[in-house]
A and B are shown apart, each in its own frame.
Chain A
């Protein structure tokens, strides 16, 4: 303890002496040099402290900016996602609009009015036979209502309604074996009967055996068809079958203009109700409604 006291006394004397010299001779060269040395050694503490503090003081602002940017980023991502969804919806509507526009020029036969329906369901086991649409008896659909599709702005015979429910109907496609439609070949004006084969193609029978048939002719519905209006496209004759010596008629294979599996909407030609046809026709819009209204009058 005595040794510590002695050393501390010496130290006090030394430090006090230095301090008093510094205080007494502030402008002398040695004191100024000493002060410069001390400042050189100790000033960086304040200098780097100031720089560090400046950097640290900027952190809250930067963090805040980062958070704001993150929030904005999330909102914008959400908006982009929503915009993409709206865009997809608009594209779908545009495509649907393009698909449906040609049908506005349809002039339905007297006493019939058009009704658009969406394809609800297809049975994978009966792909070429039937499909379900979302219009039923509540919309005025009845048995044997003709069902049309469209291809490149032209209406195409698809099938007929064979089962009606309140809000849906079952459509028997022309490709089903049980289907048959009275049809004519466009160029030769020959009349025959188009029958389904249960597959992709149709067969047009009962064509006169006296005529030389050629592939490539369009096949349309005949005015004698009990179901379809006349001049509705069915398909194209793609192959003339070899003559059978035991048969008195010829047959051609017909490629349907539209596959039932490619359709998303179909047009049903339902019977117009008396007094209601005008308002219904107006609701369908465009030339169709005008024609239907005229027909109703």
Chain B
């Protein structure tokens, strides 16, 4: 993937995330598109581009949020790194492995954000059980959809 295409993906993903969360959320639930994309990039391209993009997307999320600045950047960097590490052990380029990785990474992401809140703001930033339980599945569905649209890595 060329630098230009990555830049395009970087900005289009942010725009898509913003549009989805602002206008197409169902009962307050919207998938973490940026997290799904970070996992997808890590699975297809490796951890280095995924971590760079994840860090940038995390900063974008932090700018939008009034809470801990840097928490999302850190969490998505870790998601990219974690997926890249898993990639060395198992093949995550398939549909089912990618959905499973997204599912677990989503839970890890939520827990990490809450823990960071507890450490740096002395507040366990808990989004609520519905979000914690349903959002990962929503993310997994989105990952499947993106996999179909994007296609398997040649």
Binding site for B on A (CB under 8 A): 1, 4-5, 7-8, 11-12, 15-16, 18-24, 26, 31, 35, 38-39, 42-43, 45-46, 49-50, 53
Contacts and interface: CB of A to CB of B under 8 A. Distances in A.
Contacts, number: 89
A65 to B, nearest CB: 22
Contacts of B73: 15, 18-19, 22
Contacts of A7: 48
A31 B59 contact: no
Contacts of B78: 12, 16
Nearest to A35: B69
A38 B72 CA distance: 14
Interface residues of B, number: 32
Nearest to B12: A45
B68 A23 contact: yes
Contacts of A5: 88
Interface in B5-49: 11, 14-15, 18-19, 22-23, 46-48
A42 B18 contact: no
B46 A45 contact: no
B13 to A, nearest CB: 10
Given A8-B84, A45-B60, A22 B48 contact: no
Contacts of A31: 69
B10 to A, nearest CB: 10
Given A4-B47, A23-B116, A46-B18, A15 B74 contact: yes
